[in-house]
């Protein structure tokens, strides 16, 4: 610790801030954390590894005064006003050249505003996505930094040290200009929502559809996670089925109310995709299904009015489980395809210059959407860094071709018996539209021209045409 000054400072010692700071300390950096709540500082110091340099303080000035320059300060506070409040509290205390990092899930437009605001004052502001939850923060998250590249050069060593490692490569890379770090994290979360929705649909089909109990569900997800579906989200799902409720001794999953919450990042992904005109219907559907889940009272009324056609799927269990695994695999690829296609377009339209091969590389470890599939996508982007959609990669195409019939079968059985599988269906519909040489949108153009003289283009000659239809 040179001059008794700390290498890195953290604002907000909630579990994420504390764990990330302790992770830095474990890698040899001297760290200081600020939280108004003295208990948080005490918890930080008491959970530090012996021999590491970790200090907790209760005023911002105490922290700022004990830091090496340029100061490297991260905040991990709730998105929105708390971030602006921290920025305003920091301004009188920091010096030109200091680096202020927002490591939370801020909306990228807020980050752009803050970058500009602080740039005018000579302060580097970086929006950095951090994924991996509490455990990941302590042991190795995936880190998505964006913004000022000069500032990134200053924090790179620390971020590389603490990030998850895959084949020796750190799961952190510069994600591009402006708010690119938070943008990439937002899309990561959109993909996260979509895959979680798909997994919940497969759970429903296995549980209510073919009658598997929690031990059997555990076994299916274990087998899937041991094979080509290996991913963090499948792995935790496997474990969830075994967890006992300490209040009732039932399995906890059966005691949890079926209303999903959200903090907004999935919705932001959908909203921004609409603005960019990038179709990502599986992510849209995942957001919609979380919203629909909250209409519990109405669902209870509707359940009495509209009885389902049946409850069990009449396909031999082993056959159905195999088909469902393939369906989940197919649809999961579509989720990544949609999110990555969004990053491809945002990179140029929003002038962020996002290196998509690096995005995929750093998502291979530490983050919530890590999966073995990302290795395949990484190879695809290495072969063609300008790939606009991974569905155009020949190896990805082979994977989808091998699985698509099973997705069709699952959809047929599930819809006939009345299960809601919005994510699975929209992944197939997206695929079928994307691979269509000719979509039925010629008719939409005819209708638009009929009622609104919006004109249309022809297949046999250039130009814009209008017809008097009536």
- What residues make contact with ligand 6PG under the rule CB under 6 A? 105, 131-133, 189, 192, 261-263, 265-266, 367-368
Taking only Cα atoms into account, the Rg of the chain, rounded to an integer number of angstroms, comes to 25
CB of 370 to ligand 6PG, least distance (A): 10
State the nearest-atom distance from the C-beta of 426 to ligand 6PG, in Å: 19
Torsion sign over Cα 194, 288, 145, 160: negative
> Which residues are CB-neighbours of 250 under 8 A, at least 6 positions away?
244
Which secondary structure element, helix H or strand E, spans residue 208, and what is its range? none
Q: What is the nearest approach in angstroms of ligand 6PG to the Cβ of residue 129?
A: 8
User: For residue 156, what are its two tokens?
Assistant: 């790179």
Which of 192, 235, 267, 403 is labelled catalytic?
192
Please pick, among 55, 185, 267, 403, the residue that the annotation labels catalytic: 185
The tokens describing 182, both together, are: 């938070």
Residue number with CB closer to ligand 6PG (58 or 262): 262
Q: Tell me how far, at minimum, the Cβ of 283 lies from ligand 6PG, in Å.
A: 12
The residue with tokens 């090496």 is 68
Chain centroid to CA 315: 34
Is residue 177 part of the annotated active site? The answer reads no
Cβ proximity to ligand 6PG: between 16 and 32 the closer is 16
Nearest CA-CA partner of 398 in 344, 329, 322:
329
Q: How far apart are CA 419 and CA 209, in angstroms?
A: 8
192 catalytically annotated = yes
In angstroms, the CA 364 to CA 244 distance is 31
Least CB distance to ligand 6PG at residue 10 (A): 17
DSSP string of 110-127, one letter each residue: HHHHHHHHHHTTT-EEEE
Distance CA 200, CA 44 (A): 36
Report the residue closest to ligand 6PG, judged by CB: 131
Q: How far is CA 297 from the centre of its chain?
A: 30
Between residues 35 and 192, which has the closer beta carbon with respect to ligand 6PG? 192
Active-site amino acid positions? 185, 192
């Amino acid at each position: 610790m040179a001059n008794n000054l700390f290498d890195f400072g953290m604002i907000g010692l909630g579990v994420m801030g504390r764990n990330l700071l302790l992770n830095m300390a474990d890698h040899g950096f001297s760290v200081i954390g600020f939280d108004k709540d003295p208990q948080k500082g005490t918890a930080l110091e008491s959970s530090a590894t012996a021999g590491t340099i970790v200090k907790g303080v209760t005023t911002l000035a105490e922290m700022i005064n004990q830091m090496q320059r340029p100061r490297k300060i991260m905040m991990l506070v709730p998105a929105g006003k708390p971030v602006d409040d921290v920025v305003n509290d920091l301004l009188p205390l920091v010096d030109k050249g200091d680096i202020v990092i927002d490591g939370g899930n801020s909306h990228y437009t807020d980050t752009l505003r803050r970058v500009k605001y602080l740039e005018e004052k000579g302060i580097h502001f970086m929006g950095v996505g951090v994924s991996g939850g509490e455990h990941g923060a302590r042991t190795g998250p995936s880190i998505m930094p964006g913004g000022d590249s000069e500032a990134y050069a200053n924090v790179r060593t620390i971020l590389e040290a603490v990030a998850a490692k895959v084949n020796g490569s750190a799961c952190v890379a510069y994600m591009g200009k402006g708010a690119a770090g938070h943008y990439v994290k937002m899309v990561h979360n959109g993909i996260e929502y979509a895959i979680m929705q798909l997994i919940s649909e497969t759970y429903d089909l296995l549980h209510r559809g073919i009658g598997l109990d929690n031990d059997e569900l555990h076994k299916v997800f274990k087998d899937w996670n041991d094979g080509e579906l290996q991913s963090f989200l499948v792995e935790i799902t496997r474990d969830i089925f075994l967890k006992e409720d300490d209040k009732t001794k039932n399995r906890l999953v059966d005691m949890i109310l079926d209303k999903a919450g959200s903090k907004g990042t999935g919705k932001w992904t959908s909203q921004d995709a609409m603005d960019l005109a990038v179709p990502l219907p599986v992510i849209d559907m995942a957001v919609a299904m979380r919203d629909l889940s909250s209409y519990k009272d109405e669902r209870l009324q509707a359940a009495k009015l509209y009885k389902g056609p049946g409850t069990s799927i009449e396909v031999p269990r082993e056959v159905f489980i195999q088909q469902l695994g393939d369906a989940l695999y197919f649809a999961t690829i579509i989720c990544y395809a949609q999110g990555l296609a969004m990053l491809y377009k945002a990179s140029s339209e929003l002038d962020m210059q996002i290196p998509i091969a690096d995005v995929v590389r750093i998502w291979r470890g530490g983050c919530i959407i890590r999966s073995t599939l990302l290795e395949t996508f990484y190879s695809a982007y290495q072969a063609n860094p300008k790939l606009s959609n991974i569905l155009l990669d020949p190896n990805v195409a082979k994977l989808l071709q091998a699985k698509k019939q099973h997705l069709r079968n699952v959809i047929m059985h599930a819809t006939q018996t009345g299960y809601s599988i919005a994510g699975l269906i929209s992944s197939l519909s997206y695929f079928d539209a994307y691979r269509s040489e000719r979509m039925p949108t010629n008719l939409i153009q005819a209708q638009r021209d009929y009622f609104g003289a919006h004109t249309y283009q022809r297949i046999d000659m250039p130009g814009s045409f209008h017809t008097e239809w009536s």
